[in-house]
C-alpha cells in the first residue's frame, strides 16, 4: 500500500532527519531506519495511520517538529501513535536507559 499520505510522510521524515545519520559501522542516512520500521509494520498491517506514524515515530524526539504540527499535517490518529511511542522527558531530567524505555512499551 502506497498512498499520497504515506508519500508525504516519507518526504517529511526525509526532510526532518536530513542531517542525521544512523550509529554503527556504516553511517547510513537516518531515513533508512524509519523506512525499515515501516516495512516491518507493513508485514502486519496496511493501516495508513500506523505506517505514517512509523515513518514519523522519531520526529517529536529528534527534531523541532511538534506534535501539534504532526497532528495538523497527518491527522489525530497518526499523531496519537507517534506520541504514544515517543519518550517524554523534561529539561533537567535524565533520559531513561534504552532498554528500560523499551521494556516500558511492552
Cell numbers 510522510 correspond to 9
Catalytic-role residue among 61, 69, 73, 83: 61
Q: Rounded distance, CA 90 to CA 100, Å?
A: 17
Contact at 8 Å (CB) between 9 and 47?
Answer: no
Query: How many of the other CB atoms lie within 10 Å of CB of 92?
Result: 5
Catalytic-role residue among 7, 43, 47, 62: 62
Active-site annotation holds for 61: yes
Question: Catalytic site residues?
Answer: 61-62
Amino acid at each position: 500500500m502506497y498512498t499520497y499520505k504515506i508519500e508525504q510522510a516519507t518526504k517529511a521524515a526525509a526532510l526532518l532527519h536530513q542531517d542525521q545519520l544512523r550509529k554503527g559501522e556504516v553511517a547510513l542516512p537516518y531515513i533508512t531506519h524509519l523506512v525499515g520500521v515501516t516495512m516491518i509494520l507493513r508485514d502486519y498491517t496496511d493501516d495508513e495511520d500506523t505506517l505514517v506514524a512509523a515513518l514519523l515515530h522519531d520526529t517529536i524526539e529528534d527534531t523541532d517538529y511538534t506534535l501539534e504540527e504532526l497532528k495538523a499535517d497527518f491527522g489525530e490518529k497518526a499523531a496519537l501513535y507517534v506520541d504514544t511511542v515517543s519518550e517524554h522527558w523534561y529539561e533537567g531530567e535524565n533520559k531513561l536507559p534504552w532498554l528500560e524505555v523499551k521494556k516500558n512499551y511492552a
